[in-house]
Structure 1
Amino acid sequence: MKTETISSLEQLPELARALIAFAGMERIWVFRGAMGAGKTSTIKAILAEMGVTDSVQSPTFAW
């Protein structure tokens, strides 16, 4: 398990790049945290770094 901490939303792209590099070829990731912890924001940043342009929604609020 790896823990990363950032102090501002402006650091999300940097965090996303670090997580992508850390994961290497692994393509199944688990994000766990309390509501409002920033999981969806982090995932949006990761997908943006990967070039995804589709809309990304929180699965908690999808229904």
Structure 2
Amino acid sequence: MATKSDTFERKEKKYLITAEQCQAIKAGLAAHMRLDDYGATRIDSLYLDTPDRSLICRSLEKPL
């Protein structure tokens, strides 16, 4: 049986932002991103990680 230390726990914070804040975020991220083959699709979520990508790496380990 999995113990608490074996389980990945997701924590989410959601924010309602203005159009101006959205543009500022897009401008700030533009230097770090590029369009992929699916550039025409809409993404409604943005996940931020640590510089060494530890959050996604931990998630991909599928600790559950």
TM-score, reference length from structure 1: 0.27
TM-score, reference length from structure 2: 0.27
Greater helix percent: which structure?
Answer: 1
The structure, 1 or 2, with the larger RCO (C-alpha pairs under 8 Å, 6+ apart) is: 2
- Which structure: larger Rg? 2
